[in-house]
């Protein structure tokens, strides 16, 4: 069939484009596909979901067979039921009566995945393969497994069904226009010419995981990874460090496999492993489908719908969305694109419509038909034009401003990739200097503020490196996808089908599509989440409100609230506490000698604390040797209590009271020696502290009766306590300030970082834990030694002993 094309004499590429011949359409699609079964993969994906919707709504006598994998405990059948809850299926579900009825009438669920394709139904007529690994940078073995082996297994299963039924199916393969790789100029709708052996490449690609896994376990690699983990997690404990070492090893393996895929693809002329393996999959299609009708649909960059199911319909973020949103936030200062390069965007509904039109054709066996579904041939959009439309949209509809007001939109000059990379390198160096300064800063709010700024910069840099690296070649490509075959098929549509199934890329203008359809669609959920965050505030979810227990409810609670002492509920440390306890009993001369000795030893202790806090505490407590324990306890009760209590943070005391009012068991876990915790007894049901060993005369030996609980030992104690007392740790709370507390904070369901050290602050942020500042303003300077007094200080024993409800 020859169809006259309605286009200019010379296309956008300056190349005269002529009519082509190929399989056409001899009626309405509903009639051509009447009574047929279309088996499809990828139904839970972007294109596949809309493809299923289109079949159900516009092809009333066509059945769909959907290959869906089980996900955890959710069966394939359950996943399809959940899919049919989505808004676009509302009308078709209502017409059927229920989701179950719709599935019974129109959908056959086939549980399986790629490459583990199950037996396909004998009655299939068309197979549409639109599943695959669509990320640009998957590990090389994953890309080959899904895109190449998965395609081969699917086609083999299709041919098995064909042999059983005697029917000849039509295989429709959804590929990508970018299988053309690094070619330049006009790309025709034909098979790409190359001499790559897909069998060899697949075999070698799959072998690489074992090779890289072996490399990751060499002593040199493990030593390097362990040392990196120790720098970050040494204080948290050996097991935490070991877990992070293994996490780093696995991440290294994945990173190496990603690099291997990228470099292998580029060494053979493709931009990335995604387009490389999709190109090899096309070769598999040609070989396995040599004796059946085969069509290959090659979409360009698929974005939100132009018209159906409704303008702007999209599922998740695709290729352009992260960059558009980053620009709107003011976080994309430049982009390494050629301003006159074509960014070949096509609406999703055009891809779906073209695919179903292709399904209704009947190509000649052994002669695959190729279809480019793109806009660049007849409705080109350049990067400079895309930038202009996106900028216009955000100038008219900016994101709501935060503390710093409405984001300032960058002005792009398109300086080229080298200039953009130079800016990134300069920012990287500045960030490195900032981290070096941060490591030398004293702990406090200024350091935390700098850390937050550096973390935002790091996140921005990582984003820019990732996306600029992935999209750099696409942004400078000179590919021109000829779409003669696709346009010819569009003109073959029956007049009754044009409204529902049109896919002519000249049908829309970019101002309307980008500024009135696409950008509003992708920013709407972001704006909604931003509004929710503003309404909720910055308070993260692990800091829950604590309503008091009901009046008269004396039942035991299975929730504990565990608090650290120094730096968390109290602004002091073990050195200060030692001086308060020991100096008053010494003569002036011995006081001077003791302080001098302490100053001399302190740098070594601080270095030891970075390696092992338990060792630091043991060294510190050796200085208690010879002290009378009973006298120390009396000194705490009569002289030090007020000194200690006035250093409690009011917010901490309030939070502890809330837990007690809620019926929770309150626990204090500290490395402080037990006598110094005596003034805090009214606040806590359980106090776990360091017990000083004594001789027969009751004098301290300088040793501990048992090792101090620090780091991972606190997590072990808490887990054991919970098992003994029926505590539900997933409902329990923990409050701490140090990175060494990370293991036991991770044990509970509601961890809170209080005045955190930088490493803990970063860990809390990454885990979405609440971070709070609890500050105290003691009236007595730290250098003033406690005097004998009553126990009631500014905070006061009376303030601490309010009974919980029910007592």
pLDDT digits (tens, 9 = 90+) for 509-556: 999 999 999 999 999 999 988 888 777 765 557 888 888 887 777 788
d(CA 786, CA 781): 10
Q: What are the structure tokens assigned to 701, written together?
A: 């030996």
- Residue 29: CB atoms within 10 Å: 23
Alpha-carbon separation of residue 399 from 389, 407, 524, 525, 626 (angstroms): 16, 7, 10, 12, 66
Q: Which run of H or of E encompasses 760?
A: helix 758-767
Burial pattern 370-409, b for ≥16 Cβ within 10 A else e, equals bbbbbbbbbbbbbbebbbbbbbebbeeebbeeeeeeebeb
CA angle, 193 as apex, 187 and 198 as ends, to 5°?
125
What is the mean predicted confidence (pLDDT) over 136-145? Answer: 92
| CA–CA distance, 807 with 796 (Å, rounded to integer) | 21
Does 422 score more than 90 pLDDT?
no
pLDDT at 571: 80
- Tokens at residue 597, please? 């000795």
**CA 483, 379, 371 angle in degrees (round to 5)?**
15
* DSSP state letter for 749: S
Which residues pair with residue 110 across a beta bridge? 67
600-634 pLDDT, tens digit each: 776 766 666 566 666 777 777 888 888 889 988 88
Report whether 278 contacts 147 (CB < 8 A): yes
Q: If pLDDT is split at 50, 70 and 90, which confidence band does 134 have?
A: low
Instruction: Show the DSSP H helices in 612-711 as ranges.
Output: 613-621, 629-635, 641-645, 650-661
Report the C-alpha gap between 39 and 126 in whole angstroms.
6
pLDDT of residue 782: 60
| CA neighbor of 677 nearest in space, from 722, 717, 715, 708 | 708
Give residue 354's pLDDT band: very low, low, confident or very high (50, 70, 90): very high
Contact 197, 296 (CB under 8 A): no
Q: Are 678 and 636 in contact (CB under 8 A)?
A: yes
| Residue 23 three-state SS | coil
Q: Is there a contact between 683 and 586 (Cβ–Cβ < 8 Å)?
A: no
DSSP 459: H
**pLDDT tens digits along 156-209:** 999 999 999 999 999 999 999 999 998 888 999 999 999 999 999 999 999 999
Cα–Cα distance, 189 to 194 (Å, whole number): 15
- For residue 346, the SS3 value is strand
**In terms of pLDDT, which residue wins out, 718 or 445?**
718
Q: Is 12 exposed, middle or buried (0-12, 13-18, 19+ CB in 10 A)?
A: middle
Comparing 139 with 611, the larger pLDDT belongs to 139
Residue 1: count other Cβ atoms within 10 Å of its Cβ: 13
Q: For residue 551, what pLDDT is reported? A: 79
Q: Cα torsion for 794, 798, 801, 806, to the nearest 10°? A: -130
User: By C-alpha distance, which of 751, 731, 750, 728 is closest to 739?
Assistant: 751
Q: What's the rounded Cα separation, in Å, for the pair 685 and 708?
A: 19
Instruction: Give yes or no for residue 746 having a pLDDT over 80.
Output: yes
Cα 664 from Cα 549, distance rounded (Å): 9
Average confidence (pLDDT) over 330-342: 88
Helix (H), strand (E) at residue 752: strand 750-754
Alpha-helical (H) ranges within 362-444 are 383-396, 417-439
Instruction: Return the SS3 of 74.
Output: strand
Angle at which helices 273-288 and 150-165 cross, to 10°: 20
- Between strands 37-41 and 345-347, the pairing is unpaired
Q: Is 65 helix (H, G, I), strand (E, B) or coil?
A: strand
The dihedrals phi and psi of 24, each to the nearest 5 degrees, come to: -115, -165
Q: Are 522 and 321 in contact (CB under 8 A)?
A: yes
- Average pLDDT, integer, range 762-783: 83
**Is 680 in contact with 563 (CB distance < 8 Å)?**
no
Distance CA 14, CA 12 (A): 6
Residue 702 CB neighbour total at 10 angstroms: 16
Confidence of residue 642 (pLDDT cuts 50, 70, 90): confident
The tokens of 703 are what?
Answer: 């040793």
Instruction: Kindly state the average pLDDT of the residues 739-743.
Output: 90
Cα–chain center distance at 695: 56
**Contact call for residues 557 and 607 (beta carbons, < 8 A):** no
Give the C-alpha distances (Å, rounded to integers) separating 85 from 53, 100, 355: 12, 11, 24
Distance, CA of 543 to CA of 734 (rounded, Å): 10
- CA gap 656, 141 in Å, rounded: 53
Cα 283 from Cα 45, distance rounded (Å)? 24
Residue 657 pLDDT level (bands cut at 50, 70, 90): very high
The structure tokens listed for 791 are: 């126990």
Label residue 335 by pLDDT band (50, 70, 90). Answer: confident
Q: Which of 289-298, 326-335, 699-708 has the highest mean pLDDT?
A: 289-298
Dist. CA 711–CA 715, nearest whole Å: 7
Cα torsion 376, 140, 147, 306 to 10°: value is: -30
- Gyration radius (Cα) of the chain, Å: 34
How far the first Cα of the chain sits from its last, in Å, is 91
What is the per-residue pLDDT across 5-58, written as a single tens digit (0 to 9) for each? 344 434 444 443 444 567 878 899 999 999 999 999 999 999 999 999 999 999
Buried b (16+ CB within 10 A) or exposed e, 178-188: bbbbbbeeebe
The answer to whether the CB of 67 falls within 8 A of the CB of 75 is no
Dist. CA 25–CA 1, nearest whole Å: 9
- Helix ranges (H only) for 43-184 are 46-58, 76-83, 90-96, 99-106, 140-143, 150-165
Buried b (16+ CB within 10 A) or exposed e, 412-427: bebeebeebbeebeee
pLDDT at 799: 43
Q: CA–CA distance from 114 to each of 145, 149, 162, 174, 184 (Å)?
A: 8, 8, 20, 15, 33
Q: What average pLDDT is seen over the chain?
A: 87
- Residue pair 689/678 in contact (Cβ under 8 Å)? The answer is no
């Amino acid at each position: 069939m020859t169809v006259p094309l309605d286009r200019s004499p010379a296309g956008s590429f300056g190349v005269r484009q002529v009519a082509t011949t190929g399989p056409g359409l001899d009626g309405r699609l509903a009639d051509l596909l009447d009574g047929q079964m279309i088996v499809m993969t990828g139904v839970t994906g972007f294109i596949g979901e809309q493809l299923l919707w289109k079949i159900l709504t516009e092809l009333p006598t066509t059945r769909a067979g959907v290959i869906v994998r089980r996900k955890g405990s959710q069966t394939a059948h359950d996943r399809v039921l959940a899919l049919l809850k989505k808004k676009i299926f509302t009308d078709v579900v209502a017409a059927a009566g229920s989701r179950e009825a719709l599935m019974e009438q129109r959908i056959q669920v086939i549980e399986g995945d790629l490459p583990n394709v199950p037996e396909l139904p004998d009655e299939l007529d068309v197979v549409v393969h639109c599943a695959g690994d669509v990320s640009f940078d998957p590990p090389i073995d994953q890309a080959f497994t899904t895109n190449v082996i998965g395609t081969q297994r699917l086609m083999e299963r299709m041919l098995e069904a064909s042999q059983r039924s005697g029917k000849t199916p039509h295989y429709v393969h959804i590929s990508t226009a970018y299988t053309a790789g690094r070619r330049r100029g006009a790309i025709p709708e034909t098979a790409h010419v190359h001499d790559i052996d897909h069998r060899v490449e697949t075999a070698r690609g799959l072998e690489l995981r074992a090779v890289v896994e072996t490399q990751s376990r060499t002593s040199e690699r493990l030593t390097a990874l362990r040392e990196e983990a120790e720098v970050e997690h040494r204080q948290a404990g050996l097991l935490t460090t070991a877990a992070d070492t293994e996490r780093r090893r696995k991440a290294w393996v994945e990173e190496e496999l990603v690099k291997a895929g990228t470099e292998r693809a580029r060494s053979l002329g493709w931009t990335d492993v995604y387009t490389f393996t999709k190109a090899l999959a096309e070769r598999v299609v040609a070989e396995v489908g040599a004796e059946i009708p085969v069509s290959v649909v090659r979409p360009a960059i698929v974005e939100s719908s132009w018209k159906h199911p409704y303008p702007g319909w999209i599922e998740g973020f695709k290729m352009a969305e992260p960059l558009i949103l980053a620009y709107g936030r003011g976080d994309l200062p430049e982009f390494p694109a050629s301003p006159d390069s074509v960014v070949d965007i096509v609406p999703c509904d055009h891809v779906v419509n073209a695919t179903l039109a292709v399904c209704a054709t009947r190509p000649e066996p052994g002669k695959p038909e190729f279809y480019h579904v793109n806009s660049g041939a007849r409705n080109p959009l350049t990067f400079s034009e895309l930038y202009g439309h996106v900028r216009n949209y955000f100038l008219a509809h900016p994101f709501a401003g935060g503390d710093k007001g409405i984001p300032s939109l960058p002005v792009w000059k398109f300086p080229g990739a080298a200039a953009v990379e130079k800016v990134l390198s300069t920012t990287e160096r500045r960030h490195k200097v900032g981290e070096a300064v941060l490591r030398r800063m004293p702990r406090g709010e200024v350091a935390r503020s700098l850390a937050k700024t550096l973390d935002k910069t790091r996140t921005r840099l990582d984003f820019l490196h990732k996306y600029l690296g992935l999209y750099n070649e696409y942004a400078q490509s000179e590919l021109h996808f000829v779409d003669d075959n696709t346009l010819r098929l569009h003109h073959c549509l029956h007049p009754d089908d044009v409204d529902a199934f049109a896919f002519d890329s000249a049908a829309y203008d970019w101002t309307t599509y980008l500024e009135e359809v696409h950008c509003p669609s992708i920013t709407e959920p972001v704006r909604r989440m931003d509004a929710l965050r503003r309404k909720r505030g910055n308070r993260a979810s692990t800091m829950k409100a604590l309503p008091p227990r009901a009046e008269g409810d004396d039942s035991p609670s299975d929730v504990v609230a565990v608090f650290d002492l120094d730096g968390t509920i109290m602004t002091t440390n073990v050195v200060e506490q030692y001086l308060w306890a020991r100096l008053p009993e010494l003569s002036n001369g011995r006081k001077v000698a003791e302080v001098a000795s302490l100053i001399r030893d302190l740098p070594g202790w601080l270095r030891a604390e970075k390696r092992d806090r338990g060792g630091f505490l043991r060294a510190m407590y050796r200085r208690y040797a010879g002290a009378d324990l009973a006298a120390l306890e009396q000194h705490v009760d009569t002289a030090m209590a007020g000194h200690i209590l006035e250093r409690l943070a009011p917010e901490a005391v309030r939070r502890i009271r809330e837990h007690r009012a809620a019926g929770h068991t309150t626990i204090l876990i500290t490395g402080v020696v037990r006598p110094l915790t005596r003034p805090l007894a009214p606040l806590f049901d359980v106090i776990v502290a360091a017990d000083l060993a004594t001789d027969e005369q009751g004098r301290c030996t300088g040793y501990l009766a048992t090792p101090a609980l620090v780091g991972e030992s606190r997590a072990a104690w808490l887990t054991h306590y919970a098992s003994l007392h029926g505590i539900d740790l997933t409902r329990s709370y923990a409050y701490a300030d140090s990175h060494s507390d990370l293991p036991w904070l991770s044990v509970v369901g509601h961890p809170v970082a209080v005045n955190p050290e930088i490493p803990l602050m970063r860990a809390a942020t990454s885990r979405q834990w609440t971070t709070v500042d609890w500050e105290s303003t003691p009236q007595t300077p730290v250098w003033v030694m406690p005097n004998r007094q009553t126990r009631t200080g500014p905070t006061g024993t009376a303030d601490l002993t309010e009974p919980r409800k029910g007592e």
